[in-house]
Structure 1
Amino acid sequence: MKISKVAIIVFASLLILIALGAALVRWRGFRASSTPNAFETAVARSVRNFAIPRTENHKTNPLADDPVALQQGRDAFLARCSSCHGIDGRGITPIGANQYPRVPDLHSTPTQNLTDGDLHYIIEHGVQLTGMPAMHSQSTSESWKLVTYIRSLHSGTLKEMSSKEYIASSARYVGSESCQRCHASIYERWKKTPMANVVLDPKTHSDAIIPDLRTNTIAPFTVDQVAFVYGSKWKQRYFTKIGEDYYPLPVQWDVGNKKWLKYHVPDAGADWWTAYYPSGNMQRPTGPTCDGCHSVNYDIHTKQVTEWNVGCERCHGPGSEHVAHPLRTNILNPSEMDDVASNDTCIQCHSQGQPRDGFIEGKAYDWPVGYHVGLHLADFWKLEDVTLGQTDFLYFADGTAHKNRMQGNDFVQSVMYRHGVTCASCHDVHGTKNYAQLRKPADKLCLDCHGSGSPNGPHTATIEEHTHHKADSSGSQCIACHMPKIESEGVPGSFVRSHTFRFISPAMTDKYKMPNPCTSCHTDRSTDWANKQLLSWATTSPWRVTR
């Protein structure tokens, strides 16, 4: 009798629980827009972790310290995972943010606390009742490469980040050569990049000066007058030293056209700082206008630097603590920062702006004095304003940059920036064999995230259907239309690519007199012809063509 009574109570309790559950489902529904509560999240994680076999749990990643595996893992992540997890792994995507449960932030502590074996098992087998599919890779190494990449996303705890910021404020700058001992392969790649060779002393680099100085009839000078040579790709300028200051000589070499040109920044209608300096080149020192970005740790009082050129500590902060005790927790790393801070590392110099506080000790500086990686760039620097509808020295009428060194001004306007893409998503400043230190050739890089059928677009079966140009032709390259070479590099005929990633229609050329990619390539055609061609494409919205 007692057993029957207990059974009835248990059965009744189960019915009540089922009824409550049904009522909850009825009230709440099976909608993915709901956010799992903390209890549900904790239970789900516990069940998932419990379901991972113990034999898998204790596996270690055989590719953990393999830089090639890291790069391949990144490529695989962008191609197979980023549509849900996002370019930056934080899961803030149209798909990831609307799944139930939400796509996890791969930087977060709960994810990073999983063992290598846990991550490998989840990647290989997926997770039931979630959006996480099974990868079922042909080779288990593919999944281990993804584990290697996911580990690189570790952002650190708040305590670790606070420790890094404290160390950055107390450590000393020691120079890039101090990094070579442990990072020899990266150091050797970096030494060959433009970053490491912005300015060169011709006394120690005998091949630094490109032209024959005897051919200079505009403003002749001798090699003994040159303290630094600046640039080698588009133009080359020459700085002389007077006291502790450097000054630009009034002539430059046009690398592309192989000829000498006068060099003088116009007194009006050009850079904002010219209004606060005398007209002559020998009265415009490069310290306030250039040297802060062409060096590490430029001191505006002593005019001394830790090293010239863009060295390791320009992006990683002072390294004395890290050199003495090489730990991940005592050096700053832009790849472990949020996307804004990571991009600020590059934007500090690849932008046109003005110091937030105006003059610094009575001088006009054309770089963010006081900023170093890890701080908030916006506290020190404001980007130049744009007046839409008006083309000026800095911008075209639609807000696209008009001159060089404005990649940051462009990029912050882009959809890419808003979705967490960083400069390092495409560029490896440590050096690659590709143009502009791209991680891959441009088209392959773009197609990692924008391949046919990708939720990121284009929404066509093939790239050719999107571009309406033959495969492998110049017109079928993503950068041909979305990153046209329209921004002046300072000498006639030399241009760099825009970084807004917007398509500039021929109609905008008619309206704003700015170049468009169609007639910039088809130079024998008119904007009217280009407009008609675009309107004839079924995949092109007429509203994008005629605006």
Structure 2
Amino acid sequence: MDKRGRLWLFVATAVVLIGIIGCAPGEREVSGTPTFVGSNECRTCHAREYQGWLETLHSQGIQDPEANPKAVMGDFDVESDVRTFSLNDVAYIFGVQWKQRYLTETTDSAEQGDFLILPAQYNLATNQWKPYEAEAWQTRPFTQKCSGCHATGVTNDRLLGVEMNVGCEACHGPGSNHVEGEGRERPRSIVNPAKLPSDIGAMVCGRCHSRGSDRESNLPFAVNYIPGEYLFNTFTLLETTDTEHFFPDGLSKAHHLHYIDWRQSAHALHGVTCMSCHTVHSTGVNNKLQTKLPGSTLCRSCHEMNQPTRIHAIHSFGSCIECHMVRTAKSAVEGDIHIHTFKTVSPAETVADPNVRNSCSCHPASAQEMQAIYEQTVGAAGSSATRELTPPQTGGS
């Protein structure tokens, strides 16, 4: 065979091989709507991420007290007029951070495949039992109030989801196609929030670290949202004009409002998202909040400490967080949640509403006295800082 013949034979063989390889199982197309498979399916290939996730609060929020007795933090030995139930009534514990609530399974709820939240919670900071929806607890099933953010794989047809807690698919989307896919198809068949545009990526966190209502079912969580999609197609955020959850100036009063706070911030405008500061697959530094670096060190990794106005020089020994993330909100006790607008709150805000904490609340002087000092010290920049307190519109639509 001459040289030209050998060349054509090589080309023909290559074409055939490419066709065969293209049809090989490793490159088969995975089609169809993906379904939820549970986090255990992820551990074989993603062992490090899976093990890190086990150390986070996302995996620990709801636990079986029989399987893990140490997870029970409430004092069931002490007599309490508030707590009208015993540990024997508890099917699952609910919460490990600020407070702990308790799920029970009644005859009626079991028939519906549901749970009820018992009428007292244990506040971990004060070691006290406090009432929780004591008058209405029997009309508040878990699937109607909580499951959308405390279970994974929730749909209209399956409101308990496929697993309790915030599993892998809560952030990465349903994974059946990813599990079944092979070769180059696998990365394309799952959502990686870190690779999404910053605003869309933040929505993955925002669907639960916020309050609002599902557009279709009106449940207080996004039922049919899939990570990577535009959240506000299916979910409407609570407005900052809601006086039950926000102060008149837009500062949050309650937990589950971090995302709404963040949308008011300069961080949101510049693409600094939740994942810029918080770890997801590990505990990060040794604190409750899973931040990448401790305290002000995290802030200073991006921000210069002393600006030309020397505003920050007056607290060179202090904490960025205490001034720029004031504890205005409540989860279990007053002021146990930092706001995420990252804006200073002047003492004038407390003068207008004594219930508002301000950035100078650590000082013993009155709010009026501190406002005078604030204006003298900050000077012209003080009016700028005060102007920051007027939030933009935040309604998700």
On whether the aligned pair clears a TM of 0.5, the verdict is yes
Deviations 1:173-224 (A, max 9, x none): 2211222122222211210111111111112112121133131422332333
Deviations 1:13-45 (A, max 9, x none): xxxxxxxxxxxxxxxxxxxxxxxxxxxxxxxxx
Give the aligned residue type for 2:307: H
For 2:246 and 2:157, locate their aligned partners in 1 and report how far apart those are by CA, in whole Å.
Answer: 33
For 1:222 and 1:300, locate their aligned partners in 2 and report how far apart those are by CA, in whole Å.
Answer: 33
Give the aligned residue type for 2:326: P
Which has more helix, going by share of residues? 1
Give the aligned residue type for 1:223: L
For 2:145 and 2:360, locate their aligned partners in 1 and report how far apart those are by CA, in whole Å.
Answer: 36
Give the aligned residue type for 1:348: R
Shift of 1:441: 1.4
Asked which structure has the greater CA Rg, the reply is 1
Trace 1:126-137 onto structure 2 (pairs within 5 A).
none
Structure 2 unaligned residues grouped into runs of 5+: 1-28, 388-397
Deviations 1:128-160 (A, max 9, x none): xxxxxxxxxxxxxxxxxxxxxxxxxxxxxxxxx
Counterpart in 1 of 2:279? 428
For 1:168 and 1:256, locate their aligned partners in 2 and report how far apart those are by CA, in whole Å.
Answer: 50
**One of 91, 96, 105 as aligned partner of 1:232:** 96
For 2:333 and 2:31, locate their aligned partners in 1 and report how far apart those are by CA, in whole Å.
Answer: 42
Give the aligned residue type for 1:466: I
The answer on whether the counterparts of 2:346 and 2:374 sit within 8 Å (CA) in structure 1 is no
Shift of 1:258: 0.6
Counterpart in 2 of 1:309? 165
The answer on whether the counterparts of 2:90 and 2:102 sit within 8 Å (CA) in structure 1 is yes
**One of 261, 265, 272 as aligned partner of 1:414:** 265
**One of 38, 55, 58 as aligned partner of 1:192:** 55
Deviations 1:444-488 (A, max 9, x none): 221122124xxxxx6339xxx4324454x3xx2111111011101
Counterpart in 2 of 1:179? 42
Give the aligned residue type for 2:298: L
Counterpart in 1 of 2:370? 530
For 1:510 and 1:343, locate their aligned partners in 2 and report how far apart those are by CA, in whole Å.
Answer: 34
**One of 442, 454, 467 as aligned partner of 2:312:** 467
User: Measured at CA, do residues 438 and 546 of structure 1 come closer, stay the same or move farther in structure 2, by a change above 3 Å?
Assistant: closer
For 1:516 and 1:224, locate their aligned partners in 2 and report how far apart those are by CA, in whole Å.
Answer: 40
Counterpart in 2 of 1:255? 124
Shift of 1:546: 6.4
SS of the equivalent of 2:103 reads strand
For 2:298 and 2:382, locate their aligned partners in 1 and report how far apart those are by CA, in whole Å.
Answer: 28
For 1:319 and 1:425, locate their aligned partners in 2 and report how far apart those are by CA, in whole Å.
Answer: 25
Trace 1:83-98 onto structure 2 (pairs within 5 A).
none
Counterpart in 1 of 2:114? 245
* Correspondence 1:290 to 2:153: no
Give the aligned residue type for 2:278: H
**One of 299, 316, 319 as aligned partner of 1:477:** 319
Deviations 1:301-345 (A, max 9, x none): 344422111011110112223233263222110111111210110
Deviations 1:258-290 (A, max 9, x none): 11111117xxxxxxxxxxxxx521121010110
Counterpart in 1 of 2:208? 349
Shift of 1:515: 2.6
Counterpart in 1 of 2:225? 371
SS of the equivalent of 2:200 reads helix
Shift of 1:528: 2.4
For 1:169 and 1:195, locate their aligned partners in 2 and report how far apart those are by CA, in whole Å.
Answer: 29
Give the aligned residue type for 1:318: P
The answer on whether the counterparts of 2:349 and 2:358 sit within 8 Å (CA) in structure 1 is no
Counterpart in 1 of 2:176? 320
The answer on whether the counterparts of 2:101 and 2:121 sit within 8 Å (CA) in structure 1 is yes
For 1:433 and 1:260, locate their aligned partners in 2 and report how far apart those are by CA, in whole Å.
Answer: 30
For 2:158 and 2:38, locate their aligned partners in 1 and report how far apart those are by CA, in whole Å.
Answer: 18
SS of the equivalent of 1:207 reads helix
User: Measured at CA, do residues 350 and 448 of structure 1 come closer, stay the same or move farther in structure 2, by a change above 3 Å?
Assistant: same
For 2:151 and 2:236, locate their aligned partners in 1 and report how far apart those are by CA, in whole Å.
Answer: 21
SS of the equivalent of 1:178 reads helix
**Aligned-pair RMSD on alpha carbons?**
2.3
Shift of 1:440: 1.1
User: Measured at CA, do residues 369 and 538 of structure 1 come closer, stay the same or move farther in structure 2, by a change above 3 Å?
Assistant: closer
For 1:313 and 1:167, locate their aligned partners in 2 and report how far apart those are by CA, in whole Å.
Answer: 18
Give the aligned residue type for 1:345: V
Counterpart in 2 of 1:486? 328
SS of the equivalent of 1:204 reads coil
The answer on whether the counterparts of 1:531 and 1:546 sit within 8 Å (CA) in structure 2 is no
The answer on whether the counterparts of 1:234 and 1:256 sit within 8 Å (CA) in structure 2 is yes
Counterpart in 2 of 1:445? 298
Counterpart in 2 of 1:331? 190
Give the aligned residue type for 1:301: D
Give the aligned residue type for 1:371: Y
Normalising to structure 1: TM-score of the pair? Answer: 0.60
Give the aligned residue type for 1:305: G
Aligned residue pairs: how many? 348
Deviations 1:386-420 (A, max 9, x none): 33xxx821101111211111001111111111222
SS of the equivalent of 1:239 reads strand
The answer on whether the counterparts of 1:486 and 1:496 sit within 8 Å (CA) in structure 2 is yes
User: Measured at CA, do residues 168 and 333 of structure 1 come closer, stay the same or move farther in structure 2, by a change above 3 Å?
Assistant: farther
Counterpart in 1 of 2:342? 501
The answer on whether the counterparts of 1:518 and 1:530 sit within 8 Å (CA) in structure 2 is no
The answer on whether the counterparts of 2:212 and 2:237 sit within 8 Å (CA) in structure 1 is yes
Q: Which structure is richer in relative contact order (CA contacts within 8 A, separation 6 or more)?
A: 2
Give the aligned residue type for 2:377: W
